[in-house]
Amino acid sequence: MADLSFEGSDKEQFVTALAAMVVADSGADVTADNINAVVTGSGNSVGAYWAPLFASAIDKAGGIDKFFSAPGAGAAAGAAPAAADAGGAAAPAAAAKVEVEEVDALEGGMDMFGGDAGGGDY
């Protein structure tokens, strides 16, 4: 297993990001004070600028949920909320039904010896 040790600003950024997720998951407002409380409670310390930076970015984005998409959502995940925010109802995508036609390998055409399919004098 790879060593997942973080040092310096990488560690501080990682700790702050996890603390912000813990605060949001607990249902509390994601503020710099709440992030710092989780960081301190976890036995870590980060630079004074990290918590306000994360809190500000999350606030400007409209919440921490904007940073996570549903599994398998891909790039189109942002389109539906944007349409709903614009006042329009997002139309459900029409599921295109693909018909699969099974074809018998010996049906019609020629057999491998050049004759008509359906039997013959071999």
- pLDDT greater at residue 26 or residue 103: 26
Percentage of the chain beyond pLDDT 70 is: 54
| 39 C-beta neighbours (distance < 10 Å), count | 22
Q: Kindly report which listed range (49-53, 84-88, 99-103, 112-116) carries the lowest average pLDDT score.
A: 84-88
Q: How far is the C-alpha of 38 from the C-alpha of 114, rounded, in Å?
A: 78
